[in-house]
Structure 1
Amino acid sequence: MTKTVLCYGDSLTWGYNAETIGRHAFEDRWPSVLQKALGDRVRMIPEGLNGRTTAFDDHLADCDRNGAKVLPTILQTHAPLDLVIIMLGTNDMKPVLAGSAFAALQGISRLIQLVRNHTWAFGHEVPDILIVAPPVITETANPAFAANYLGAIKESAKLATLYRDLADELGCGFFDAGTVAVTTPLDGVHLDAENTRALGRGLEPIVRMMLGL
């Protein structure tokens, strides 16, 4: 039976390319790399949105970037699901939105609640959850990104430890994207093609294990 995996994230999942200010080729995005590694027994659903937060409104945005508001609809759209991969928190680091790792932690906790308390129709079981800590934000000479993420390098470095402890507490899987990928100094936030591919490869073992493949 085919397993279905929802990849719920932000621009790192969408495939934002800091070099072109466009989008990485489909085959370079980490959900695509993970799909290829796992084969036909798994169906990956990439659900990345630039600027998405865990659970905070962005009133400067052109669409709803609050991950907690949108998630229930997306869960309903793609059900049944076997696994939900959540990689969010980078945009929470913006001082204008939340500005702290603890706020992101609270947002991730809310997303886990939404998955587990969702009204899964037709007897569908609650999917497993894999929390992925995004790579640490790095120094950049890009003035707009440096201003938008003021103080975020220090805060984003706390995410992996906080997310790991939360995953242990709530019985979720955990993966630290920073163990296989680093953000580009072009803007300090995003992944180049090599690193987004590396993330897809790095996720394969734990996803394979969680799906029982």
Structure 2
Amino acid sequence: MKNILAFGDSLTWGAVALKSLRHPFDVRWPNVLAAGLGGKARVIEEGLNGRTTVFPDPTEDVERNGAVALPMLLKTHEPLDLIIIMLGTNDIKYANRCRAFDASMGMSRLIGLAKRFPYNENYASPKILIMNPPHLVKTDDEWFNDLWGHAIEESKLLPKHYARVAQEEGVHFFDTNAVAKCDPTDGGHLDSANTAAIGMGLVPVVKKILEI
């Protein structure tokens, strides 16, 4: 059986828009992907609300910097056959004021960490797939509009920059906008249908990468 690490933020964790709730296990995209692979792989959910690629968030009590967490998780879950990374929305929100280009630089560093990691010599190094989150959308919720309304247009640039990084780094890329869109309830999270859609959309992609 193949082992896949799904490394991301609240979209990977399964946050429900405007509620302190998590989508059911069977509709969160990592688990939909696992089901679609028909028992040929297990997918490890490693989503953290607010996680960034490499940027600290001074407004949070819990460390959100993905570059801090990733090496520990690579060691925790080895051997791994594939690492899927979907991050970026929290890089461009209020606390960090970064551009999509900056998020892509953060993604490039995460790829480098995964490539250079001292894996157990008895196992092959994992393949890497990066994904941009679906772009932000307009919301009538005042708090979330203040949080990331300014970043809607910037979020639409993530696919372009991530595709470039993937090509430069020789890793795989998937644009989630092809299969999913954010929930306008808060403008940045996913309803159950759209988180499931990401998992379903990944099935043929992952099958091809892992040759299963």
Asked if structure 2 preserves the Cα contact closer than 8 Å seen for 1:95 and 1:150, the reply is no
Asked if structure 2 preserves the Cα contact closer than 8 Å seen for 1:29 and 1:193, the reply is yes
Question: Where does structure 1 differ by over 6 angstroms across 4 or more consecutive aligned residues?
Answer: none
Counterpart position of 2:193: 194
Counterpart position of 1:171: 170
| Matching of residues 60-75 of structure 1 within 5 Å | 60-75=59-74
Once residues 21 and 49 of structure 1 are traced to their aligned partners in structure 2, the CA distance between those partners, rounded to angstroms, is: 13
Once residues 62 and 195 of structure 2 are traced to their aligned partners in structure 1, the CA distance between those partners, rounded to angstroms, is: 25
Structure 2 unmatched ranges of 5 or more: none
Counterpart position of 2:57: 58
Aligned-residue CA RMSD in angstroms?
Answer: 1.0
Counterpart position of 2:3: 4
Counterpart position of 1:47: 46
C-alpha displacement at 1:96, in angstroms? 2.2
- Summarize deviations over 1:30-80 as a string: whole Å, max 9, x none: 011001000211011010000000001012212111000110000000011
> What TM-score, normalized to structure 2?
0.97
How many residues of Structure 1 are paired with residues of Structure 2 in the alignment? 212
Once residues 36 and 158 of structure 1 are traced to their aligned partners in structure 2, the CA distance between those partners, rounded to angstroms, is: 31
Asked if structure 1 preserves the Cα contact closer than 8 Å seen for 2:138 and 2:149, the reply is no
Counterpart position of 1:78: 77
> What TM-score, normalized to structure 1?
0.97
Counterpart position of 1:206: 205
Once residues 89 and 170 of structure 2 are traced to their aligned partners in structure 1, the CA distance between those partners, rounded to angstroms, is: 23
C-alpha displacement at 1:170, in angstroms? 1.1
Give the percent of matched residue pairs that are identical in Structure 1 and Structure 2: 48
Aligned residue for 1:121, secondary structure, equals coil
- Summarize deviations over 1:136-159 as a string: whole Å, max 9, x none: 100011111111114210100000
Give the AA of the match of 2:160. T
C-alpha displacement at 1:19, in angstroms? 5.1
Once residues 73 and 204 of structure 2 are traced to their aligned partners in structure 1, the CA distance between those partners, rounded to angstroms, is: 26
C-alpha displacement at 1:124, in angstroms? 2.4
